[in-house]
Structure 1
Amino acid sequence: MLSTVEQTRLYLSQHTHTTKKARFGQFFTPARTAAFMASLFPESEGNCYFLDAGAGIGSLSAAFLERWKAGKFHFQRVKLDAFEIDHSLHPYLSKTLNRYSDDPDLTLSIYGKDFINAATDWLSGNLFAESFPQYTHVLLNPPYKKINSHSPYRLALRSVGIETVNLYAAFLALAVMLTGVGGQIVAIIPRSFCNGPYYRSFRDLILEYTAIRHIHLFESRSKAFKDDDVLQENIIIRLERGGRQGPVTISTSTDDTFNNLVSYEWPFAQIVPPDETEKFIHIPSSSSNGYVRELPSAICYSLAELGIQVSTGPVVDFRLKAYLRDMPEADTVPLLYPNHFSKGGTTWPLTGNRKSNAIVYNSNTEKWLYPIGFYCIVRRFSSKEEKRRIVANVVDPSVFGEIAMLGFENHLNIFHQNKRGLPQTLAYGLAVFLNTTALDRYFRRFSGHTQVNVTDLKLLKYPSHDTLIAWGQWAIQQQELTQAMMDAQLATLTE
């Protein structure tokens, strides 16, 4: 049965225009992923009330029903509700579900209504709203699309206490509220909700109303929906409504074949640390050694305690285009982009560069510039499959000659002291710490983005000022810094 649905999915993925996919935030679930998601539900009995919101062609519903038919569930009756707003998919969805319709213990309902509007009407107490049952099982591949701050969706969601910026979080939050105590929810969603301020309210809702039971991580960012060129990193998560939080199973596989699946149990305190004020959700890699603390306890200082600030590069090039120059001129100062930095240091100016190398220095641009000095910079974006997420470099003023100011383009984060440079040793010490393998692994636990935001860097903890100065002095004396050398410096804090 699933192979038939899979053929339909592949056909529609190839023949559906990208503008339509974008309009609906629509990406169909591959059969192997759907089967794996359905396998995460614990064995159950009694009556099942099943929800598939954003059902598409019915891949998830079919996977769930196949598991029931295989005897993995012991339901007396199943009531299945499938919501799909794209009416052009209803013939495919009906064809998928009708293959199971001869079972007298199964009731199937397909709704063409907008799930968000229907659910918020019911949850807000609208007397004319169509009623929802308390679902026992929810399987979701929700749409991925940002919600405008003035969208009617934001107002509707707000009426039931949900504040979020993306449809996927709205669908999952509503599913939680529609699920009865003990109900199970399995969803494939972007990892972006695990950190950052925009999803704080959503994380609070998840942690207040559910227990996290299982998280599956794809080691390759692009493989979950590879037929649709989805580059967002996705996870599969199982939640239990009203459950008592215990250890969390973390599993990983390279891709959606699940051939090299490994899983381990982690204490919840390592998923959401008790001192995590922003409620970031950390997702450690599965490890045969179980949990190993990757950052020593001596790393406990905030940037504020160190007297350091971090800011996004203020030069947005398309807004200051009139002042940009391909190469330095008499009235310009250096403008630095990520491609000016590499393991070998700073290369400026770059010849044959598609980006500018300089910006005019005058009264109109002065507010966008920093005084010459030592700075530690971190690129905001890494490539899709890059090994490291955090990549730090030091800006050495000796590279630029006799100039007064520097321009930093918007794709860089800058560590500074009150908009001025850092002491040389502090800049180098910071770079050593930020380039350690342990910090990169720690950062990846809660960040699924290719982006490294200022907020993320502010929320990290750092070694003491004296430690950073000592590391900086050591780094300056080295002819070459290797990854092993920097990791060894961090290891000294555990001795």
Structure 2
Amino acid sequence: MSRAARLEAAAPPPLLDRVDLHRIEAARALDPRARSELGQFLTPPPVASFMASLFERPCEDIRVLDAGAGVGSLLAAFTASACARRKRPSAIRATGFEIDPRLAAYLRRTARACRDECAGAGIDFAARIIEADFIRSAVEQLDGGRPRPGMPRSFTHAILNPPYKKLNSDTEARAALRRVGLETSNLYTAFLGLAILLLEPGGELVAITPRSFCNGPYFRPFRELFFREMSLRRVHVFESRKAAFAEDEVLQENVILHAVRGGRRDPVAISSSRGPEGELLSVRSVPFEHVVRPGDAELFIHVVPDDAGERVAATFARMPSRLTDLNVGVSTGKVVDFRAREFLRQEPGRGTGPLIYPTHLASGVVRWPKRGKKPNALVDAPETADLWMPSGNYVLVKRFSSKEERRRVVAALFTPESAPGDRIGFENHLNVLHRSGKGLPAVMARGLVAFLNSTLVDTHVRQFNGHTQVNATDLRNLGVPTVEQIERLGRRAPDPGLPQEELDHIVEQML
């Protein structure tokens, strides 16, 4: 072995590789159920390195926050990136929050490794590891101005992989968040919101999160906060739903955000890759107005990573109508099965009416009854009087698409011939398109089913919808053609079960 080879073999591995041993060891040692309960998904090195590379602001004295730090992969990546820059900071003051004592022990080891790395680069490094609830600590500081000992009043940088878990409305955390004006239903947006409020003007945030905050009514208050306080600079998407956290078998669709506190609404960089170690497939710069449409009260965030997607986005930007303009309402099905359990029947019979579940939707139509686990009928009784809708022509859209389905939007036509009777029950996992609580004109219903089942609509919805749910707000916010165009489509595509290629061709010709 040559002297150079011996020196290389004796040298310590790069900082992030050393810290990744902590991540692997911790992942093996921790109970998967406990990690799931806390919403813990530890950041792989390629993701951490990419995130750290997105920071732009030159800063002499850095104060960096890593909330929900885990073993410190993001802190290590941030430190390694700072040490490798041509213009290095003179000092890094890191604050890491980790509530799990086992992970906090690894985090302290990572902080020591970061200190050693910085010493070799001439950077003064100090870390404060806080083994406490980040939400409670941040709220105390923001609400009462009482920072924890060693915790700065504000930060120049924040790098986060926050925990993913729902926050019920009656929890202490929700009450604490409301004290500082944060209304959110998930831990990850709570962590992001607090980190934003702790940034100084001009401070930078880089975070990896589920894409679900981009749409839906539950996340609108967070989107309002985000765009009131931050200037979005970059969004990166992974083509594969499980790419970012493959080892943890996470099927969330994730994005990486880079944003700055305050500033102008400059063009936004949109990039994509197949996975954390894959080459960038595309990087585009788009006007902010292409990401959040002007006049959109819901502030849906549209992520369009390629030119083909941009053409779809442009098509929908020209759509002249919303469903309300067509006098079409959207409601969720009225039958919540666990509340009506005693009135459910497996088979239709005397004194019952048809009950339609998502499982009854197939090839653009309703096939009822169906043998299987789900009931087919609802008892007609005084207790169920408010759960029925009059028979007619309805458009049904699944609220949740299954893992086996390739499409995000799955629509089907219900007609009076689909099931007998003058009243129909629709289960709560269906969106129902109707007119004032009654059926739609037949040709309009057929046209809407054809339009909603097109690849054009499916592609567009994926640009702002990062999960398998399509809710009523998504549909109400969807651009649609004119009444005349929808009716023309209904006459040209009367069969809801048309082959996809033929259906798409008809829709493209119509538009």
Do they fold alike, i.e. is TM over 0.5? yes
Find the partner of 1:470 among 488, 494, 499: 488
- Verify the 8 A CA contact 2:378 2:425 in the aligned structure 1: yes
Give 1:249's aligned amino acid. A
- CA shift for structure 1 position 260: 4.8
1:431 and 2:445 correspond: no
Distance 1:385 1:65, change over 3 A: farther
Larger CA deviation: 129-138 vs 424-433: 129-138
Find the partner of 1:448 among 463, 466, 473: 466
CA RMSD after TM alignment:
2.2
Q: In structure 2, how many angstroms separate the alpha carbons of the residues matched to 1:445 and 1:98?
A: 42
1:398-445 deviation digits (Å, cap 9, x = unpaired): 2334x2222211211111122221111111011111112222222122
Report the counterpart of residue 85 of structure 2 in structure 1: 71
- CA shift for structure 1 position 268: 0.9
Find the partner of 1:306 among 326, 341, 349: 326
- Verify the 8 A CA contact 2:309 2:459 in the aligned structure 1: no
- Verify the 8 A CA contact 2:492 2:506 in the aligned structure 1: no
Find the partner of 1:372 among 388, 391, 395: 391
Report the counterpart of residue 200 of structure 2 in structure 1: 180
- Verify the 8 A CA contact 2:211 2:466 in the aligned structure 1: yes
- Verify the 8 A CA contact 1:294 1:439 in the aligned structure 2: no
Q: In structure 1, how many angstroms separate the alpha carbons of the residues matched to 2:247 and 2:296?
A: 37
1:339 and 2:374 correspond: no
Q: In structure 1, how many angstroms separate the alpha carbons of the residues matched to 2:200 and 2:145?
A: 20
- CA shift for structure 1 position 153: 2.1
1:89 and 2:108 correspond: no
Q: In structure 2, how many angstroms separate the alpha carbons of the residues matched to 1:240 and 1:359?
A: 54
Report the counterpart of residue 238 of structure 1 in structure 2: 258
Q: In structure 1, how many angstroms separate the alpha carbons of the residues matched to 2:274 and 2:166?
A: 28
Give 1:446's aligned amino acid. F
Report the counterpart of residue 319 of structure 1 in structure 2: 339
Q: In structure 1, how many angstroms separate the alpha carbons of the residues matched to 2:343 and 2:399?
A: 23
Q: In structure 2, how many angstroms separate the alpha carbons of the residues matched to 1:301 and 1:439?
A: 14
Q: In structure 2, how many angstroms separate the alpha carbons of the residues matched to 1:292 and 1:337?
A: 31
Equivalent position SS for 1:180: strand
Q: In structure 1, how many angstroms separate the alpha carbons of the residues matched to 2:304 and 2:115?
A: 42
Equivalent position SS for 2:338: helix
Distance 1:158 1:321, change over 3 A: closer
Q: In structure 2, how many angstroms separate the alpha carbons of the residues matched to 1:289 and 1:128?
A: 45
Q: Aligned pair count?
A: 491
Find the partner of 2:402 among 379, 383, 386: 383
1:153 and 2:173 correspond: yes
- CA shift for structure 1 position 129: 5.3
Equivalent position SS for 1:144: coil
Give 1:113's aligned amino acid. A
Report the counterpart of residue 31 of structure 1 in structure 2: 45
Report the counterpart of residue 485 of structure 1 in structure 2: 502
Equivalent position SS for 2:417: helix
Larger CA deviation: 318-327 vs 448-457: 318-327
- Verify the 8 A CA contact 1:231 1:384 in the aligned structure 2: no
Stretches (4+) displaced over 3 A: 125-131, 288-294
Equivalent residue runs for 1:215-254 within 5 Å: 215-254=235-274
Q: In structure 1, how many angstroms separate the alpha carbons of the residues matched to 2:308 and 2:479?
A: 27
Q: In structure 1, how many angstroms separate the alpha carbons of the residues matched to 2:185 and 2:466?
A: 17
Distance 1:140 1:344, change over 3 A: closer
1:399 and 2:418 correspond: yes
1:40 and 2:49 correspond: no
Distance 1:379 1:138, change over 3 A: same
Report the counterpart of residue 12 of structure 2 in structure 1: none
Find the partner of 2:212 among 185, 192, 197: 192
- CA shift for structure 1 position 247: 1.0
Distance 1:241 1:370, change over 3 A: same
Distance 1:322 1:148, change over 3 A: closer
- CA shift for structure 1 position 57: 0.4
Distance 1:72 1:340, change over 3 A: farther
1:118-150 deviation digits (Å, cap 9, x = unpaired): 222222234575452432221101112222323
1:151-184 deviation digits (Å, cap 9, x = unpaired): 2222322222222222211211121122122221
1:432-490 deviation digits (Å, cap 9, x = unpaired): 111122222221222112111112111223222222222112222x5962323333333
Distance 1:23 1:339, change over 3 A: closer
Distance 1:371 1:11, change over 3 A: same
Q: In structure 1, how many angstroms separate the alpha carbons of the residues matched to 2:111 and 2:147?
A: 29
Report the counterpart of residue 11 of structure 1 in structure 2: 25
Give 1:431's aligned amino acid. V
- Verify the 8 A CA contact 1:43 1:74 in the aligned structure 2: no
Q: In structure 2, how many angstroms separate the alpha carbons of the residues matched to 1:118 and 1:193?
A: 24
Distance 1:465 1:145, change over 3 A: same
- Verify the 8 A CA contact 2:391 2:415 in the aligned structure 1: no
- Verify the 8 A CA contact 1:43 1:73 in the aligned structure 2: no
Distance 1:279 1:436, change over 3 A: same
Distance 1:383 1:252, change over 3 A: farther
Distance 1:185 1:465, change over 3 A: same
Give 1:473's aligned amino acid. R
Q: In structure 2, how many angstroms separate the alpha carbons of the residues matched to 1:330 and 1:452?
A: 35
Report the counterpart of residue 476 of structure 2 in structure 1: 458
- For structure 2, the residue ranges without an aligned partner over 5 or more in a row are 1-14
Find the partner of 2:141 among 105, 122, 143: 122
- CA shift for structure 1 position 291: 5.7
Report the counterpart of residue 298 of structure 2 in structure 1: 278
Q: In structure 1, how many angstroms separate the alpha carbons of the residues matched to 2:63 and 2:500?
A: 53
Give 2:384's aligned amino acid. T
Distance 1:8 1:261, change over 3 A: farther
Report the counterpart of residue 185 of structure 2 in structure 1: 165
Distance 1:85 1:42, change over 3 A: same
Give 1:46's aligned amino acid. E
Give 1:304's aligned amino acid. T
- CA shift for structure 1 position 282: 1.1
- CA shift for structure 1 position 366: 3.2
Larger CA deviation: 363-372 vs 135-144: 363-372
- CA shift for structure 1 position 8: 2.6
Distance 1:308 1:475, change over 3 A: same
Give 1:487's aligned amino acid. D
- CA shift for structure 1 position 394: 0.4
